[in-house]
Amino acid sequence: MAELTIPSLTLHDGVEIPQLGFGVFQIPPEDTEGVVAQALDIGYRHIDTAGAYRNEKGVGAAIAGSGLAREEFFVTTKLWNSQQGFDSTLAAFEASLGRLGFEYVDLYLIHWPVPSEDRFVDTWRAFERIHEEGRARTIGVSNFRVEDLERLEVETSTRPTVNQIELHPRLQQSELRGWHADHGILTEAWSPLAQGELLDDETIVAIAERHGKTPAQAVLRWHLQLGNVVFPKSVTPERIRENIELFDFELSDAEMAEFERLDRGERIGPDPGTFVSP
Ligand code: NAD
């Protein structure tokens, strides 16, 4: 396997997380083991999946087949909206562990807050139990707004270590990132490439050309320099490799400022304030 050093960041509970990983949203279950095995071979050690992606089994199989110890990997999975609630969370977590074939996950996330159903506080109490039992090394949330994070702050005793949110040059989330920074919460950026939609942006193309890199690499490098954790998704071997080759160049302050000006506040995914279980 390739030797590649990916920097790690330290969460507020001391757990270390590789800053770059591999996302498997929309990878068909039957293809997942093969695609993840390729990513592991290229050097990825951090995988982001979810119960809702229906491909946890393939992720677990690829890791089991890697020949490396489970401790070499950082695996995140997520609790789906319809399974929120104390007892249903414990049962859903058990099912995820079973599909992964693991004794623990590295990071367990509440996938969406679903504020209209008002169950995320009870759900978080089940997360605290799972964490105390050592079956999730660390626990966090996804798609939470400041007001949702504030409720956890007031009503529970454990602060999430990460919030995984939609974040890319068209939706830079500076207010939420600032709140995270003030509260020691790490920002994970989902759809870091805006699902490929902004890779022909002329500013991004020009910055990439200046460094002899591709637009995808320039965008991912921008995330890393902001301090975000990213896990771009691809099923194409050349792109999977390209998306990890980010550690031999650096964007200048002026280039970071050029990126900052691309913010439009535009989502490609659902609004966390209104998104409910399908
Ligand atoms: P992404 O921004 O990673 O884009 C992936 C797409 O970009 C690919 O399908 C491909 O079309 C294109 N692409 C990838 N690499 C490229 C390259 N080098 N050159 C050109 N095009 C390239 O989008 P994503 O998959 O939606 O997000 C990444 C991960 O984030 C997911 O796999 C998942 O793990 C996570 N995610 C989480 C949530 C959540 O609600 N928590 C939602 C969406 C995604």
Residue nearest to atom 24 of ligand 1 (CA): 191
C-alpha torsion angle, residues 57, 63, 65, 71 (rounded to 10):
-140
Q: From the CA of 241, how far away is ligand 1's center (Å)?
A: 14
Please give the average pLDDT of every successive group of 10 residues along the chain, which has 278 residues.
78 98 98 98 98 98 98 98 98 98 98 97 98 98 98 97 98 98 98 96 98 98 98 98 97 98 97 89
> CB neighbours of 272 closer than 8 A, spacing ≥ 6?
112, 113, 143, 144, 145, 148, 165
The Å distance, Cα 23 to ligand 1 centre, comes to 7
- Report DSSP letters for 204-271, one per residue: HHHHHHHTT--HHHHHHHHHHHHT-EE----S-HHHHHHTT--SS----HHHHHHHHTT-----SS--
> Which atom of ligand 1 is least distant from the CA of 242?
18
What residue's CA is closest to ligand 1, atom 42? Answer: 190
Residue 154 Cα to ligand 1 midpoint, Å, equals: 33
Residue minimizing CA distance to atom 25 of ligand 1: 233
Q: What is the pLDDT of residue 5?
A: 84
Separation CA 106–CA 188 (nearest Å): 15
Ligand 1: centre distance to CA 164 (Å)? 13
Per-residue pLDDT at 1 = 41
Residue 211, pLDDT score: 98
- 12, 5, 35: which is closest to 22 by C-alpha? 35
In Å, what is the CA distance from 155 to each residue of 11, 40, 95, 124?
21, 40, 27, 10
182 sits in which H/E element? helix 174-182
Active site residue 108: no
Q: What integer pLDDT is reported at residue 111 of this predicted model?
A: 98
Q: Which long-range contacts (CB under 8 A, 24 or more apart) does 192-195 make?
A: 192/167, 192/168, 192/219, 192/220, 192/223, 192/228, 192/230, 192/231, 192/232, 193/168, 193/219, 193/220, 193/232, 194/168, 194/169, 194/170, 194/268, 195/268
Residues lining ligand 1, judged by CB closer than 6 Å? 23-25, 48, 111, 142-143, 164, 190-196, 199, 214, 216, 231-234, 239, 242-243, 269
Pocket test for ligand 1, best of 26, 234, 238, 271 (most atoms within 8 A of CB): 234
Phi-psi category of residue 14: left, alpha or beta, with phi > 0 → left and psi -120 to 50 → alpha: left
Q: For residues 243 and 101, what is the distance between their CA atoms, to the nearest angstrom?
A: 28
Rounded CA separation 52/76 (Å): 13
